[in-house]
Amino acid sequence: MSDDHARTPGAAARPRLAGTLPEPGVPKPDALLVLDGVSRSFGGLTAVRVDHLEVQRGAITALIGPNGAGKTTLFNIVSGFDRADGGRWWFDGHPLTGRPAHRVARHGLVRTFQLTRVIPRLSVRENMLLATSGQRGEQLLPALLRPLWHGQEREAGRRADELLERFRLGQLRDDYAGTLSGGQRKLLELARALMARPVMVLLDEPMAGVNPALTQTLLGHITRLRDEGMTVCFVEHDMDVVMGISDWVAVMADGRLVAEGPPHTCARNPSVVDAYLGKRHDEPGTPQGQE
Ligand SMILES: Nc1ncnc2c1ncn2[C@@H]1O[C@H](COP(=O)(O)OP(=O)(O)OP(=O)(O)O)[C@@H](O)[C@H]1O
């Protein structure tokens, strides 16, 4: 399916955003992910109500917004880790509405978590291999076709070793993942997400809790992924990081998409300033969702 697109150099996709208007919901020249009318409530709280959002193929898109804006909830919905109350979304033209995480991953869309899901009592390499379970090996038919599965296992091992080298975790491959530093766990989380050779990665605060030196390393890995043709969407609070590596920024507040644009345009957008300074929240008597 999208292998051709995965090989498209990101640098080729970026200039095509140049003429895109900085408006929330604006169509993109080559949208890989498209969301329409996506909503999610928890009790009386509407966490997400995104009318329309398109994510450009081959670009790095930052999803920003104040705490509680709905960023993680939106990631959860699109990646199949949570259900939406309404709306539809498509990935590379395929409808993914309501699909569970393993099926979303099979289409080439994977995510990482704010709090890493690394398993401390398994080795670094075992954590990598675990990323491929839930595929062929756990199904009945492939159990009967064991040689095929062994082939897949060997390929997974090769892929794991290659990624661990790339992320400079090769020397730690047999160590318990629990002995890794917070930053190394973030690297492992990203490496694990790449096991399935995704077309697009959703990274939830990949730099949170990482020391400045390792942050630079992670940023280098992320831009390299984009330059190799991968589509990246990441949630981040550090504006230096956002300004430094994003091709495009989407801003959420109160569950809504309030602004979009190139990084430096977004920083000056009054809706973004309002969202961060909490102007809306300070207006007395404005019920949520009716301002
Ligand atoms: N499982 C849940 N149950 C109840 N409320 C939830 C749940 N998940 C999220 N929320 C609420 O939904 C809103 C959006 O949360 P979400 O975590 O998506 O925001 P966010 O933009 O990712 O915030 P942060 O930047 O702090 O991670 C918040 O008010 C949050 O408390």
Residue 291, beta-bridge partner list = none
Tokens of 4: 């051709």
**pLDDT average, residue stretch 73-80:** 96
Name the residue type at position 289.
G
CB of residue 68 inside a 6 A radius of ligand 1: yes
**Distance from Cα 68 to the centre of ligand 1, integer Å:** 5
CB of residue 209 inside a 6 A radius of ligand 1: no
pLDDT at 4 over 70: no
Distance of CA 32 to the CA centre of its chain: 13
Strands 86-91 and 31-42: antiparallel
CB of residue 10 inside a 6 A radius of ligand 1: no
Q: Where is average pLDDT lowest: 61-70, 139-148, 238-247? A: 139-148
**pLDDT average, residue stretch 164-185:** 93
* Closest C-alpha to 57, from 28, 34, 32, 26: 32
What Rg, from alpha-carbon coordinates, does the chain have? 19
**Distance from Cα 291 to the centre of ligand 1, integer Å:** 20
**Distance from Cα 188 to the centre of ligand 1, integer Å:** 25
Residue nearest ligand 1's atom 31 by CA: 68
Mean pLDDT taken over the chain: 85
Residue nearest ligand 1's atom 30 by CA: 68
- Which of 39, 46, 48, 72 has the most ligand 1 atoms within 8 A of CB, as the residue to mutate? 72
pLDDT at 209: 83
ipTM of model: 0.97
How do residues 206-264 score in pLDDT, each as one tens digit?
988 888 888 989 999 999 999 999 999 999 988 889 999 999 999 999 999 999 999 98
pLDDT at 130 over 60: yes
CB of residue 70 inside a 6 A radius of ligand 1: yes
Contact criterion met (CB below 8 Å) for 177 and 185: yes
* Residue 56 burial (C-beta neighbours within 10 Å; 0-12, 13-18, 19+): buried
pLDDT at 264: 86
**pLDDT average, residue stretch 56-73:** 95
**Distance from Cα 4 to the centre of ligand 1, integer Å:** 36
Q: What are phi and psi of 284, to 5 degrees?
A: -65, 140
> What pTM does this model have?
0.85
Residue boundaries of the structural domains of the chain: 3-118+199-282, 121-179
pLDDT at 159 over 90: yes
CB of residue 83 inside a 6 A radius of ligand 1: no
| CATH fourth-level superfamily of 3-118+199-282 | P-loop containing nucleotide triphosphate hydrolases (3.40.50.300)
